[in-house]
Structure 1
Amino acid sequence: MEMHNGNLYWPTTESEQIVLQKPIKKERYDVLVIGAGMSGTLTAYTLYKDGVDFAVIDQGKVGAGSTAANTGLIQYSNDIMLHELAEQIGEEDAVRFYKLCAEAVDALDEVAGTVDAKDVYIRRDSLCFASSEADVSKLKREYEMLTKHGLAAEWLDREALQDRYPFDKPAGLITNGDAEVNPLTLSRQVVRYLSTQNVPIFEETDVTEVVADGDDWLVLTPAGTFKAGHVIFATGYRPAPLLDTHRIELNRSYAIATNPVPDFDEWEGQALIWETKRPYLYLRTTVDGRIIAGGLDEEKAETPHSEALIQKRAERLRQEVEALFPMYDLTVEYAWVALFGESIDQLPFIGEHPDRPNLYYLLGYGGNGTVYSMLGSKILSELVRGIDNPDARIVRLNRTR
């Protein structure tokens, strides 16, 4: 399965290759993490901090999958708004989930500081604007729900929004405490850090089969068999072994990175920007002065090879950005398409397999995959250590909505 096609931006920011000494495989590990993208590396980081005996394997090179195509918007708000989630799972659980996401944004900040990636993890506010007059009431309801539960937010009517941004939209909602990140650099910095701590990471180790061996699991690869008491699948948007995927949908989205622009004087705080309509446009800035924008989601589970199609979608994205910021003379320097996964209820799947003890999954489906990976790593670290986590039920694999 090809996770992305086109000309990716993030790999151009990473000139230094990661050289890992291939570790000697032990007879048994307490935990084996399968996957070394964002979810796998964050899981490995948390397990290491919690003193767990574990190893990591990946079928390719670290960061070569979905992480390299991630647009790097870090937000506690979700594709499903808090008031909508409350209608779906109840207000108490919905609020708890949103607060878990907010805590994960802070935790990512701590990770970035530990692994020397603070320069690529930058705290920002987010602006969500009403795409039409019909969406104003929905956005206002979200503002009221957020502030009711102590999540910092600010309401902007049309006039207040126009005073602060160069576009005319019916209303806006600002949330505080989000961030932008270079996801590839963050992921690789975590790997570099773990490597200095002698964490065993096996690259180019493809899993061919996973079979039970008493209370343990055997993970078969061309490089040999790994034995572990617990196995965590952190495989991104690739199919998760031994798991029913009927509640998961794969779609594709397009993204661009523009030329550097002289300044962002008209872009208050360089906030992350998105909107209420679905699928939505989203955009952010980069440390070298570019604009990254994405959207135009399509319900197709494959990435097109047509360069003409990718460029056509890229031009549409450029035009939408210029409609918001007409003072910028923008050209598209990087354009790509990538697969992303969504669950039917818009929440990630994190936890133990309902029928196969000691098999765990961290599947961050949705628009907040990096945030879900951080919060999921903490849940799974407790579960594999035999600690009950009361939040695990919200994202459990066998939930019914």
Structure 2
Amino acid sequence: MENSFWILNNESEDYSALDKSIDAEYLIVGAGLTGLHTAYLLSDISSNIVIVDANKVGSGSSGRNTGKVTSSHGLIYDYISQKYGDKSSKLYYEANEEGLRLIKDIVQKYNIDCNFETVPNYIFTTEDEGLEEIKKEYKSCERLGIPYEYLNNIEGFPIKIKGALKLDNQAQFDSKKYMNKLAQIICEKGVSIYENTPVLGLDTDKNEYIAKVNGDNEIKAKTVIIASSNPWHDSLGLYFSKEQAYRSYLTLSKLNKPIAKGMYINVEKPSKTIRVYHENDRDYLVCGGFDHKTGKCDDECKIFGSIVEFAKNNFKIGMLEYRWSTQDYITTDNIPYIGHINNNTNNLYIATGFCKWGITTSAVAAIIFKDLITNGECKYKEVFNPSRTGSYLNMKYLKENSIVAYDYIKGKLKKGHTDCQVEKDEGKVVIINGDKYGAYRDKDGKLYVVDITCTHLGCELKFNSFEKSWDCPCHGSRFSYDGSILNGPALKPLKLLGMGDNDIDPDLV
């Protein structure tokens, strides 16, 4: 898996893997922005906080984003007003503005060198249909008191637009630099971080949770916060059915001609996200988007060609220097799930479905968690409530799950290659003794053959030509060509040929 510019250019401290059983007051699963922000706020009320991560601090989607710190989440406010009312829409805005302020305050308080810069955010369109949507959003925001400015053009921006919305006092930064320092800060406040410590399951015993980790080790905790982006433990919340996994793509190239200071995203499809990163007296264009559902692309590598073509046609750039992809989860009503994992569980919390806006929303999650834990209430609680019926009592929910059912059946029926000849750096589905397997031969000629039945709920996996991974089109689990887990909600790896059938374990209860 190719790492992001941010990860490759920022060395971080190494935190040991957990090699014994321990007790904690608060267990946070996931050392990305959500987990780190939550630990930072909770450290004011407890000195017994443990964070575990299956990989390294900030190595997931938190370290693979654009670095946009903004409350301008596309055309969201009119939509929320129409679905849930003006009050909910305004609270969504206020929550993300508070999240933005929390990040800014942390940067300033600890003087974190993370290229933090206050800039405006622009939502633009190049099409007449998109212009009508932008005007509709502007009218709703004007009524709500959300300070968007409507523009007919953006001076200094090379793309000819039909219209745009501008929101001032937003920000951009290097998310990995920020997380590296924030991890150090919370450790100094008494938080324990363990890397390379995947959670393999969650049980309960009276008033405690028991997280199974490396080997036979366990973590007993009074409160557990799932901050790992994907809902690997479901607790009958049926999160796998209420959100979809999407892949999106980013590139970084030297920018040879300046553009207007700001962050940019378009309205129409394919999605295009743009910003400038400044480092060592050089400007770089970060450009990407072009998202699609996980496991639903025939050739991921071609997407980068489309991004580079778009960038070259509109900006003065040098050679492509970095390229990477990331995964996000989109809820069926485009609002994240943050709060109690279900209505019957008090000390188990979840944050998932950030809809590609996980930077400010990670801070929102931390604010909500601390309020719920200390006061039992939060003014943002109902907006982000994971049990809200509006997120699944809708046609989109039914449509998406019908597609999942179709993909499940299609995967079982689809034939593989009876010819098992696999070239170097090639991956394909093959038939061996009447059963389907995934075969990949690396650049050195070593062949890997794995059972490609997803260990989450049993869908058939599809080969990802860019990441050299096996991706699930149903619920977004991803596995390396050697069978190891790259993305949940799957908890168990794929088995190699000769090791038997995969173990299906969705951890629903």
In the alignment, residue 216 of structure 1 is paired with which amino acid? Answer: E
Structure 2 Cα separation of the partners of residues 296 and 21 of structure 1 = 37
The alignment partner of 1:193 has SS state of helix
CA 1:373–1:163 in 2, change beyond 3 Å: closer, same or farther? Answer: closer
Partner residue of 1:390?
A: 379
Partner residue of 2:97?
A: 102
Deviation larger for 355-364 or 337-346: 355-364
Map 1:101-120 to 2 at 5 A: 101-120=96-115
The alignment partner of 1:360 has SS state of strand
Residue 149 of structure 2 contacts residue 167 of structure 2 at CA under 8 Å; is this kept in 1?
Answer: yes
Residue 119 of structure 2 contacts residue 170 of structure 2 at CA under 8 Å; is this kept in 1?
Answer: yes
CA 1:371–1:10 in 2, change beyond 3 Å: closer, same or farther? Answer: same
The answer to whether residue 53 in structure 2 is matched with residue 58 in structure 1 is yes
The answer to whether residue 6 in structure 2 is matched with residue 18 in structure 1 is no
The answer to whether residue 293 in structure 2 is matched with residue 333 in structure 1 is no
CA 1:116–1:23 in 2, change beyond 3 Å: closer, same or farther? Answer: farther
Structure 1 Cα separation of the partners of residues 214 and 19 of structure 2 = 15
Partner residue of 1:293?
A: 287
TM-superposed CA distance for 1:298, in Å, is 1.3
Residue 212 of structure 2 contacts residue 219 of structure 2 at CA under 8 Å; is this kept in 1?
Answer: yes
The alignment partner of 1:206 has SS state of coil
The answer to whether residue 232 in structure 2 is matched with residue 236 in structure 1 is no
Root-mean-square deviation over aligned CA pairs: 2.3
The alignment partner of 1:126 has SS state of strand
CA 1:188–1:150 in 2, change beyond 3 Å: closer, same or farther? Answer: same
Partner residue of 1:41?
A: 36
Structure 2 Cα separation of the partners of residues 346 and 124 of structure 1 = 25
Residue identity over aligned pairs, in percent, reads 19
Which consecutive unaligned segments of at least 5 residues does structure 1 have? none
Residue 86 of structure 1 contacts residue 93 of structure 1 at CA under 8 Å; is this kept in 2?
Answer: yes
Residue 48 of structure 2 contacts residue 191 of structure 2 at CA under 8 Å; is this kept in 1?
Answer: no
CA 1:386–1:25 in 2, change beyond 3 Å: closer, same or farther? Answer: farther
Structure 1 Cα separation of the partners of residues 297 and 365 of structure 2 = 27
TM-superposed CA distance for 1:200, in Å, is 1.2
Residue 79 of structure 1 contacts residue 366 of structure 1 at CA under 8 Å; is this kept in 2?
Answer: no
CA 1:319–1:189 in 2, change beyond 3 Å: closer, same or farther? Answer: same
Higher gyration radius (CA): 2
Partner of residue 344 from structure 1, selected from 332, 355, 371? 332
In the alignment, residue 274 of structure 1 is paired with which amino acid? Answer: I
Partner of residue 166 from structure 1, selected from 158, 162, 183? 158
Deviations 1:208-242 (A, max 9, x none): 22111112211122262211111000012363443
Partner residue of 2:24?
A: 29
TM-superposed CA distance for 1:346, in Å, is 0.6
Deviations 1:29-48 (A, max 9, x none): 22111111121111111111
Partner residue of 1:211?
A: 203
Deviations 1:343-374 (A, max 9, x none): 11111111112233311102252021111110
The answer to whether residue 308 in structure 2 is matched with residue 318 in structure 1 is yes
TM-superposed CA distance for 1:399, in Å, is 0.6
TM-superposed CA distance for 1:297, in Å, is 1.0
TM-score, normalization by structure 1 = 0.88
Structure 2 Cα separation of the partners of residues 302 and 211 of structure 1 = 34
Deviations 1:255-303 (A, max 9, x none): 1111x23452xx22x2101111134101101122111111111122489
The alignment partner of 2:204 has SS state of strand
Partner of residue 129 from structure 2, selected from 127, 131, 134? 134
Residue 364 of structure 1 contacts residue 372 of structure 1 at CA under 8 Å; is this kept in 2?
Answer: no
Residue 126 of structure 1 contacts residue 174 of structure 1 at CA under 8 Å; is this kept in 2?
Answer: yes
Residue 74 of structure 2 contacts residue 265 of structure 2 at CA under 8 Å; is this kept in 1?
Answer: no
User: Does 1 or 2 have the higher relative contact order (CA < 8 Å, sep 6+)?
Assistant: 1
* Count of equivalent residues: 383
Residue 207 of structure 1 contacts residue 221 of structure 1 at CA under 8 Å; is this kept in 2?
Answer: yes
CA 1:382–1:235 in 2, change beyond 3 Å: closer, same or farther? Answer: same
CA 1:365–1:287 in 2, change beyond 3 Å: closer, same or farther? Answer: same
Partner residue of 2:363?
A: 374
Structure 1 Cα separation of the partners of residues 21 and 110 of structure 2 = 26
Deviations 1:111-139 (A, max 9, x none): 22234425422211011112301222221
Deviations 1:9-61 (A, max 9, x none): 1123213x303467997953221111111211111111113446421111222
Structure 1 Cα separation of the partners of residues 20 and 116 of structure 2 = 34
Deviations 1:127-155 (A, max 9, x none): 11123012222212222322333322221
Partner of residue 86 from structure 2, selected from 91, 108, 121? 91
Partner residue of 2:388?
A: 399
The alignment partner of 2:255 has SS state of coil
Partner residue of 2:252?
A: 257
Residue 51 of structure 2 contacts residue 192 of structure 2 at CA under 8 Å; is this kept in 1?
Answer: yes
CA 1:283–1:52 in 2, change beyond 3 Å: closer, same or farther? Answer: same
Structure 2 Cα separation of the partners of residues 122 and 75 of structure 1 = 12
TM-superposed CA distance for 1:169, in Å, is 1.2
Partner residue of 2:399?
A: none
